[in-house]
Structure 1
Amino acid sequence: MTVRATLDPLFEPLRIRDHVIPNRLVNTPHQTNLAEGGLVGDRQIAYYEAKAAGGVGMIVTGGWAAWRRTWTSPAANLATHPDAATGQRALAEAVHRHGTLLVGQLHDSGRQGSSALSRQPLLAPSAIADPVVREVPKEMEKSEIRDMVRSHAEAASRLCEAGWDGVEVFAAQGYALAQFLSPQTNRRTDRYGGATVAERMTIVLEMVDAVRRSIGSGPLLGVRINGHDMVAGGLEVDDARQVAVMLTETGAVDYLSVSGGSNENHPGWIPEMGREVGTFLPWAGRIRAVTSLPVLVTSRIASREVAEQALTEGRADLVGMTRALVADPELPRKLRSRDDGAVRPCIACNQGCLGNIFAGAALTCTINPGAGRELDRPRPPEVSRRVVILGGGPAGLQAAVRLAERGHTVTVHERAQEVGGQLALASRVRSRAEIGRIVPWLRDRAELLGVRVELESDMSAARLADDPADVIVLATGSRPSTDGFTSAIPGVRRLPGVGLPHVGTVHDALAAGLELPRRAVVLDDDPHGHATSMAEHLGSQGVHVVLVTRSLTAGWWAGPANAHPLHERLARADVTIMTATWATRIGEEHVDVRSVYGDFCSRIHDVDRVYLATGNVAENAIHDELVASGEGRPVIRLGDCRAPRRLDNAIWDGWNVSLEEGGHR
């Protein structure tokens, strides 16, 4: 399979049939919501071409619905759309211009889909509701199974006729074919069910055969499988090894792509920053041991070290990256040139990528706002100016980088001993450590561009009056609210007892260093994850923690992208959670609470410490002083000092800073 040996295992070509993948890095399937009425449009072409131009060896597109019955949104692609050929051909041409192979994953959600577009029942092997979608599907009749197989074959044929290099059958992650494979979701008694893996493989083998016959012997045919379902009653790694052997024996399959998980641990196949890197490497290695096919492994692989480990330890032949290439499409070129430090690091936060998709919006990236916006025109050249930025948090650092890239002379003043703002504190919690990885990257990038960063520099309006800057940029952030107010009980402006000495904010506690209490209460009305991070941090060190939240669930900030792993960690930390509840009074050694929706009241006894996570207040003192002094130079605000929001908002503000238009106010 290997074409030639090189000193760098990541950039050793791989031959499969008559196709040569120029290196071992693969852009793995993911939904983008960049389709237009189900068709490939210019934005989607630009998105994938940027990855091809960045040097990735193969792109496997995701979210290409194989038939209308599983098409969930006009923003998702429909491979069999009657007008799809033109766009699909244009995408292939764009990717091939850069020597990258293009493969299309054939998507069928089964019970994990949505009936909103089709208005038809979801289809699944058995009428068992998905734990996330919670819609009871229709058990597929044999005629519907035949339609599904035929549609996949047609979709595969259309993509290959449009010049694509191959297709991938999707039998993983709890989607349609995986539902047939799992004994947990397949209770059929006909030829498509059964007690053994071999019996439940029937439809997968039929699908592989039909697709291979439809595309002929030339194009690639891969199959994505689970290394483990990660749920009781599902497939385990020995079952996955049997699946791999059976697929190998068909002689029709060219490679296996190893993933894992299902909607019971949604979305376990897109592990967030609290999960271990190389999540599926152990399972991929065990599967590779029983097959002669090349094995592609994915999930939580974002660095040279982990990617090389997968190859050199014999666990995989190809390394899949999704979020890492969203964060930096040029990652392969940078690794090839040994410029690893220039790679914009994925922090696995699942906000801009997965979070946006769940919200029905187009994919973007928290730390790379240009993702999904490759067609946005670059700003015209600006007259070089001297810019002073107050605040070395993510908004200030990102603004410094963007302005320096445009030729401005930039100085950043940060009053703390280190840059990073609130990220520097958040990253002190073990499961949130990676959120801080963007800080050194921005700092190093800024310094490389000639930005001067002054630490422990507390600029005032008076000092700014003597600064020679032409433009003032304020990225002064926000400070934690200390009054205990919650909009769930709007009549109480200040929570009684918040001034007691054992009460403080999560922010202040992390900044000062924790003296572990015996029993703590964390009050959660927080859009940023501070409350749950503190509760987890304390609980994991043996502190008895009661997390009191006004919401129906703790950590609503996490959304569907991160909620499952968050609550797993809170459970492991033995955190007690009181939902739809808020404090009415904090006493010397107790906290009185009441239901947000009723009259239920109770008291939490023997409390040593109370931590507030009740949102933030914009830090605008310097801005107000400048306005009052009649400052004549442009004053631009970015990030939390405009309004306390999320990390992606701060980065976005810095990315889009404009001096010519007067910037943000």
Structure 2
Amino acid sequence: MNPVSFIKTASQMTERVHAYDSKIFLQLTAGFGRVAIPAILRGEAVAPSPIENFWNPKIMCRELTTEEVETIVKKFAEAAVIAKMSGFDGVEIHAVHEGYLLDQFTIALFNKRTDKYGGDLMGRLRFPIEIVQAIKKACGDDFPVSLRYSVKSYIKGIRQGGLAEEEFTELGRDIDEGLEAAKILEEAGYDAFNADAGTYDSWYWNHPPMYQKKGLYLPLTEKLKKVVNVPVLVAGRMEDPELASSALEEGKADAIVIGRGLLADPQLPNKIKSGKVDDIRPCLGCHDGCMGRIAQVKPLCCAVNPQVGREAEYGVKPAEKTKNVMVIGGGVAGMEAARICASRGHKVSLYEKGDTLGGVLLAAGVPDFKKDDIRLVHWYEKQLKDLKVDVYLNTEVTKELVDEINPDVVVVATGSTPKQLNIPGIERTLQATDVLLGKKKVGDKVVVIGGGLVGCELALWLAKQGKKVIIVEILKDILSAGMPIPHMNSEMLKDLLKFYNVEIRTNTSIAAVNDTGAVVKTETGEEIIAADSVIMAIGYDPDNRLYKQIAPYKAETYLLGDARKVQNIMNAIWDAYEVARNI
């Protein structure tokens, strides 16, 4: 974009932000380097040294010349001047973080240069040092420059991250070098560190899924705070108000950065300020609506908040005509449909055959790494109560009951039922949901049939309890069927399964179950896997029986959630939102 055009448009935004007595920084980046996606490359790939492209090893990156690096430094200064003229209060350099080009220059594993931008730590830091010095010279010492900074790389191997639970040799920037580099960068002129950990090789550190602990960077920022005098900002699943407050009070950070939490609930800060913490819609750490969407070349949004980023054209408006809406099913789709209909002014009644709302989320949220699923259920319960939705538990709806009530609109969200296999001994097996909910006891040796997301998370949960777990998957790889799973989630789950010694049998199918365990078929024949318990996690079928009875006789009847198509939480919420906002 032409600098003049940028200043004209960006200044309108900064002026509006300043009206609220807020500050706004602009991120400036040096680019991707070895981690550039081949499809977006224009010309040849470049990097600090001749190294393989992260995504395609067949692509060899060309080493940037000294003059090219010096030109990039000048461009940073020019961009900072434009940012200042546009009204930005400062800039953040992106980044000595996540393994982007600038970070690659600072890490010996990727930087084999022999000029002034290589060699020892000072040489490898020269690129970001010259950037901040050039910006300060161009914009003045009082123009703040923050640095997005990974304190530790967590590189176990090329394209292989290291878990917090395991001991491994750090191939990237270890904690000692990370702290030493921070002191040098502060001395060079950086005014703040927006700190985290990880690289593309350990992507589940930079983009932590639900399997990472909340506040995962705090042990690192606590150490960083002790060696630098400038502010330290920290993100990383920090949307929990108590966690964020304690981090500040204990001196582990100077400011809290929230990203995905604000997609889930843009009003999060205001709700904390007004004491309405129970009204904060939780982020699930799923990546399905944000990073997962980006990977699929789709607009960024949020799994639990379908309107975020497009509120003006996709928000909720009051209904033109009030209707009596009957929602059948208290899972996430039914709850979202009831919430949106009620918020638009409809009279809503919600019927659930069980004794509590939540549907499959009640089982999904049992493992320690999925507790936010339960938080989402509690959030819906409060929203429905505040909206005065009539909730009827322990009520199984029939066509006769629908006829008796005679609502204007019927929303059927009756969920799904576990898939069944016709094999000998099937009655000996357990269902994944029954195990998670504690309805069935599990022995010490367990075979999980199905290597999808449910089966793998169940296996991890059981393995963390000390059980010996074997996953049997008919396909050539686990996590390969069903809805797409964001890269950072699938990679971390696979690494955790390996760390907790979960055995994985692919290209293997279940043939029978007997009193000794599971009889499976492999490429070489049949064998018996000894087990105390065999658990089925092969997926679900839509339960749309009631819908088929009602739809022919009730003009305005909708089918939602797993009852329509078994997908994931995001699709259930999004479909319910779309339908309910138009009733």
**Matched residues in 2 for 1:216 and 1:602: separation?**
74
Alpha carbons of 1:133 and 1:411: their partners in 2 closer, same or farther (altered >3 Å)? farther
2:439 is matched with 513
Report the equivalent of 1:288.
225
Paired position in structure 2 for 1:120: 43
Which of 300, 320, 341 is the equivalent residue of 1:382? 320
CA contact (8 A) 2:417 2:541 kept: yes
Q: Distance in 2 between matches of 1:347 and 1:363?
A: 16
Cα distance in 1, alignment partners of residues 463 and 40 from structure 2: 44
Supply the distance in 2 between the matched residues of 1:633 and 1:512 (Cα, whole angstroms): 41
Q: Per the alignment, do residues 377 and 274 of structure 1 end up closer, same or farther by CA in structure 2, a change over 3 Å counting?
A: closer
Per-residue CA deviation, residues 572-630 of structure 1 (Å, 9 max, x unaligned), is 321111234333454553545456xxx44452432333222222111111112224xx5
Contact 1:113–1:133 (CA<8 Å) still a contact in 2? no
Q: What residue is the counterpart of 2:123 in the other structure?
A: 199
Q: Which of 577, 582, 597 is the aligned partner of 2:504?
A: 577
* Structure 1 residue corresponding to 2:288, chosen from 351, 354, 367: 351
Shift of the 335–253 alpha-carbon distance from structure 1 to 2, 3 Å rule, reads same
CA 1:511 to 1:304, structure 2 compared with 1: closer, same or farther past 3 Å? closer
Give the one of 458, 465, 480 matched to 1:534.
458
Paired with 2:265 and 2:377, the residues of 1 have a C-alpha distance of: 15
Structure 1 residue 142: deviation in Å?
A: 1.2
* Structural mapping, 1:108-147, within 5 Å: 108-129=31-52, 131-132=54-55, 134=57, 135-147=59-71
Q: Does residue 1:644 correspond to 2:566, yes or no?
A: yes
C-alpha separation in 1, matches of 2:471 and 2:565:
26
CA shift digits 1:535-587 (9 cap, x unpaired)? 11222223222212234432235331302221122123211112343334545
CA distance in 2, matches of 1:448, 1:375: 24
Q: Report the Cα distance in structure 2 between the residues aligned to 1:446 and 1:418, rounded to whole angstroms.
A: 13
- Give the letter for the 2:25 counterpart: V
AA aligned to 1:398 is E
Contact kept? 1:500, 1:588, Cα under 8 Å: no
TM-superposed CA distance for 1:480, in Å, is 1.4
- 1:76 — aligned with what? none
State the match for 1:186 in structure 2.
Answer: 111
The change in CA–CA distance for 1:516 and 1:130 in structure 2 (over 3 A counts) is farther
Query: Kindly tell me: are residues 163 and 538 of structure 1, through their superposed partners in 2, closer, same or farther at Cα, counting changes over 3 Å?
Result: same
Q: Which moved more, 1:87-96 or 1:278-287?
A: 87-96
Q: 1:233 to 1:658 in 2, by over 3 A?
A: closer
Q: Say which SS state the counterpart of residue 312 (structure 2) adopts.
A: coil
Give the equivalent residue in structure 2 for 1:399.
337
Instruction: Tell me the distance in 1 between the aligned counterparts of 2:521 and 2:136.
Output: 63
Alignment of 1:242-321 (within 5 A): 242-250=180-188, 252-321=189-258
Query: Contact (CA 8 Å) 1:132, 1:264: kept in 2 or not?
Result: no
- One-letter amino acid of the structure 2 residue matched with residue 254 of structure 1: D
Residue 14 of structure 1 is matched in structure 2 by none
Equivalent residue for 1:171, pick from 70, 85, 96: 96
CA distance in 2, matches of 1:102, 1:314: 24
Q: Is the 8 A contact 1:114 1:122 kept in 2?
A: no
Distance 2:5 2:471 in 1: 53
Distance 1:632 1:625 in 2: 9
Determine the C-alpha separation between the residues in 1 that align with 2:475 and 2:298. 24
Matched, 1:472 2:410: yes
| Conservation of the 8 A alpha-carbon contact between 2:318 and 2:344 | no
Contact 1:516 1:543 in 2 (8 A): no
Q: Distance in 2 between matches of 1:146 and 1:659?
A: 54
Query: What amino acid is the match of 2:530?
Result: D
Aligned 8 A contact 1:618 1:643 in 2: yes
Q: Structure 1 residues 168 and 504, CA, compared in 2 at 3 Å: closer, same or farther?
A: same
> Any stretches of 5+ residues in structure 2 without a counterpart?
156-169
Specify the SS of the correspondent of 1:610. strand
Q: TM-score, normalised by structure 2?
A: 0.91
- The Cα offsets for residues 77-130 of structure 1, whole Å up to 9 and x where unpaired, read as xxx788544443333234334332111111222211223233323222122335
Question: How far has the Cα of 1:644 moved from its partner?
Answer: 0.9
Counterpart CA distance in 2 for 1:393 and 1:424 is: 9
Distance in 1 (alpha carbons) for counterparts of 2:346 and 2:430: 41
1:282–1:368 distance in 2 versus 1, CA, 3 Å: same
Q: Which residue identity does 1:350 align to in structure 2?
A: H
Structure 1 residue runs of 5 or longer lacking an equivalent are 1-38, 40-79, 484-493
The match for 2:28 among 103, 106, 109 is: 106
Match of 2:278 in 1: 341
Aligned equivalents of 2:90, 2:98: Cα separation in 1: 21
Name the counterpart of 1:632. Answer: 554
Decide whether the 8 Å contact of 1:479 with 1:618 is kept in 2.
yes
Cα distance in 1 between the residues matched to 2:268 and 2:550: 42
Q: Give the match's secondary structure for 2:205.
A: coil
CA distance in 2, matches of 1:187, 1:512: 55
Q: Is contact 1:482-1:504 (8 Å) kept?
A: no
Letter in 2 for 1:362: P
Equivalent residue letter for 1:153: A
| 2:495 equivalent among 562, 565, 568 | 568
Q: Is the contact made by 1:149 and 1:206 (CA closer than 8 Å) also made in structure 2? A: yes
1:325 aligns with 2:248: no
Instruction: Measure how far apart 1:396 and its partner are.
Output: 0.8
**CA apart distance, 1:374:** 2.4
CA distance in 1, matches of 2:521, 2:79: 56
Which piece of structure 1 moves more, 362-371 or 375-384?
Answer: 375-384
Question: For residues 580 and 121 of structure 1, what CA distance do their matches in structure 2 show?
Answer: 39
Give the conservation status (yes or no) of the 8 Å contact 2:198–2:205.
yes
Aligned length: 562
Aligned to 1:66: none
Structure 2 residue matching 1:605: 3-state secondary structure: strand
Structure 2 counterpart of 1:522, from 415, 432, 448: 448
Q: CA RMSD in A?
A: 2.3
Instruction: Report how far residue 439 of structure 1 moved.
Output: 0.8
TM-superposed deviation, 1:324: 0.7
Output the TM-score relative to the length of structure 1.
Answer: 0.80
Give the letter for the 1:451 counterpart.
V
Q: Which residue of 1 aligns with 2:137?
A: 213
CA apart distance, 1:218: 4.3
- The code of the aligned residue for 1:206 comes to E
Residues 479-490 of structure 1 mapped to structure 2, 5 A cutoff: 479-483=417-421
1:149 corresponds to which of 73, 77, 84: 73
2:164 corresponds to: none
Amino acid at match of 1:541: Q
Structure 2 distance, partners of 1:580, 1:215, is 61
How far apart are residue 184 of structure 1 and its match? 2.0
Q: Is 1:159 matched up with 2:96?
A: no
Per-residue deviation, 1:132: 4.7
Aligned equivalents of 2:18, 2:439: Cα separation in 1: 53
Cα shift at 1:511: 3.8
The structural deviation recorded for 1:287 is 1.2
> What secondary structure, in the 3-state scheme, does the structure 2 residue paired with 1:352 have?
coil
